[in-house]
Structure 1
Amino acid sequence: MRKWLLALLIIGGNAHAAGVDAISPGRLQFEAGEMAVGISPAPEKIERVLIVIHGRLRNAETYRKSAERATELAGKTAHTLVIAPQFLNESDVALYSLPNTLLRWKGNEWMGGGLSTGPKPLSSYAALDAIVARVSDRKQFPDVKQIVIFGHSGGGQVVQRYALLAKDQPALKANGIRLRYVVANPSSYAYFNEQRPMAFDHAQCPGFNRWKYGLTDMPVYAGGQTPMQLESSYIKREVIYLLGQQDIDPQHPALDKSCAAEAQGAYRLERGKLFFGYLLRRHPEGVNQRLVEVPGVGHNGDGMLTSPEGLKALFD
């Protein structure tokens, strides 16, 4: 484990400019290139790994700090490692004159599992696979019992869709490691079929069931899995939908207002509750998932992470 942590190359101080506000200081080595990553100080005995996914602003350091604060509030710093991967895009690399060895994606394509544009093609979801595989490796992390992947807003979209498409990792089961996905306040969800909770004009919204709103034209990462196979795997995965009770603004500036998203509901709280209801109707026998509402919190990542409900979702 120490060897892997030492492989994170620390670079100079953070810069600030238009676009992403800071480049995460760590570097995680993959075959396809280096990934920018923020990481908390490592405790001697790591029993839980909290992987926190940023939103569209790609502000990984902001989320890392909030996750560290949540860990402190829960009294879990002695055994928790926080990892905040940063999905940079091409404009970030140009803006900060970053080396060509850094992985980057076109625009927001990382959110849907798209392939990096350099230095080599790698799905953003495959990058998450690689992180999960490393921290579940008993040679490097002998004490890990649980991995939690948390995402808020755009990061919540990533976590929901990653939980849907992710390949099973045999090492998790073999090593008795529990994997939980926490999906917080996303703008939209990937549905399994063409059913939607809201009425809309299909002719005016031809892309309503295309990935990432549905399962038509899925990314290469999906590997030819059928919608039925994906749904069957998804409902067995441990997923918590964490929804702010005040995330109810249908005109929120960061809310997806496309017709494909509007077909899922008017605002994030409604969209989350409608999606969960859709899940339960399709699987009346039950799913390994639950919905938790967070009173008094709107569209606020720090507020969600550090709320009593957030702490329980992350740390039991």
Structure 2
Amino acid sequence: MWLTVLWLTASGALAAERGHCGRQAGPQCLHSFALPAGAGQMHYYASRAPRPGDPHGPQTALLILHGHPRDVGRSFEAGLQAARAAGRLPRTLVVAPLYQVAPAQAGRCSMPDTPGAQPGDALWSCAGWLAGAPSLGAHPLGAFAALDALLGELARQWPSLRSVTLVGFSAGAQMLQHSIGFAADPPAGVALRYVIADPGSWLYFDPVRPVPLRGERTVPWEACGTGGCTWRFDVPATSPACAYDHWKYGTQSLPGYLPRTGAQARAHYAAAQVDYLEGALDSSADKGTFYPILDKSCAAMLQGPFRLQRGLAYAAYEQAVLKPRTPRRMVIVPGCAHDVACVLGADAARPVLFAPPP
């Protein structure tokens, strides 16, 4: 008899977890809200249903930003997997927003299971959202401002929230890293942390770029492999056409839709709580690194040849030049190339994803 009761209890708990979207993305997990200024609707997956009047809900949230193919379901499930492995899922809200793209363009940046745009949705171009660009249509809203609005919505729907860790992977990491310097103040009573994982390129706040060294000698990037180099930071000698320090690689020629100057954004970024993840195998043109889609423009290549090298050099830039207010971690995740489930689900990533709130 007690075995039957135990089985029913366990199966009921599992069914409840599935019903509350704690296992996988599904239509019942997709929510929407109205963006400011009549810009339209934005959608997001959530691991539990909103309960605006419940002060005893989750106090922490893990928000995962999808990559260029807008693989929002896979990103959401990677967040669920990470929270479950850490034993945090029962008390953590997992969220994954979707930057929607007009149907005529969506085929170039969608996965088969990416939810299609609905009438009234805010729409971006395939490349626009990751650079913070305004949405299309009569009432445009910048992609960074849409993320700010989502944080406000989460605080309204889950008033128990006290901290949110925002995680970006690949193009989502690029978007998130660029957004930090231009983000609005968080909702009252909510602390924000950021985790940047495997972006294709970085926003530098100074006109210098990394020069790899062995000892005191300048060496080509190829001599560094996956480590073994230090860096010097110099202003590179390039042609004006390279525009290496212009947006979205630097803070020159900032678009008018951004709310701060380059100097203001630099100070804001240096004050934020930020950590970094890089896949140890995301350092070549081998299978699994998605090298064909890596940004290989002149401006990007000045940051390094592959994602891992670019990330290591950026961490060194912070220590040598940017000098953030608090120390930041750069964690190399062993055994992972360019795979959101591998990177976020790894044991090595756990202390970064689930660090105590600031």
What TM-score results when the alignment is normalised by the length of structure 2? Answer: 0.74
Q: Aligned partner of 1:58: which letter?
A: R
Q: 2:343 aligns with which of 301, 304, 308?
A: 304
Q: Does 1:153 align with 2:170?
A: yes
Q: 1:38 aligns with which of 45, 53, 63?
A: 45
SS of the residue corresponding to residue 150 of structure 2 reads: helix
User: 8 Å contact 1:280–1:287 — kept in the other structure?
Assistant: no
Distance 1:149 1:81 in 2: 12
Q: How far did 1:315 drift?
A: 1.3
Where in structure 1 are there 5+ consecutive unaligned residues?
1-12, 15-23
Structure exhibiting the larger radius of gyration computed from Cα positions: 2
* Percent identity over paired residues: 31
Q: How far did 1:108 drift?
A: 1.0
Q: Aligned partner of 1:109: which letter?
A: G
Distance 1:94 1:249, change over 3 A: closer
Where in structure 2 are there 5+ consecutive unaligned residues?
1-25, 51-55, 108-114, 212-233
Q: 2:90 aligns with which of 66, 78, 95?
A: 78
Distance 1:148 1:286 in 2: 18
Q: Aligned partner of 1:190: which letter?
A: L
Q: How many residues are matched? A: 288
User: 8 Å contact 1:102–1:118 — kept in the other structure?
Assistant: no
User: 8 Å contact 2:254–2:262 — kept in the other structure?
Assistant: no
Q: How far did 1:92 drift?
A: 5.9
- Cα deviations across residues 25-52 of structure 1 (Å, max 9, x unaligned)? 4322223111132222249621111111
What TM-score results when the alignment is normalised by the length of structure 1? Answer: 0.83
Please name the residue that 1:3 is paired with: none
Please name the residue that 2:8 is paired with: none
Q: How far did 1:134 drift?
A: 2.4
Q: Aligned partner of 2:32: which letter?
A: R
Distance 1:216 1:295 in 2: 36
Distance 1:47 1:187 in 2: 32
Distance 2:138 2:349 in 1: 36
Q: Does 1:134 align with 2:153?
A: yes
Q: Does 1:179 align with 2:218?
A: no
Q: How far did 1:189 drift?
A: 0.5
Q: Does 1:117 align with 2:136?
A: yes
SS of the residue corresponding to residue 114 of structure 1 reads: coil
Distance 2:171 2:96 in 1: 14
SS of the residue corresponding to residue 251 of structure 2 reads: coil
Distance 2:252 2:318 in 1: 19
- Cα deviations across residues 39-67 of structure 1 (Å, max 9, x unaligned)? 22249621111111001001111111111
Q: 1:50 aligns with which of 48, 57, 62?
A: 62
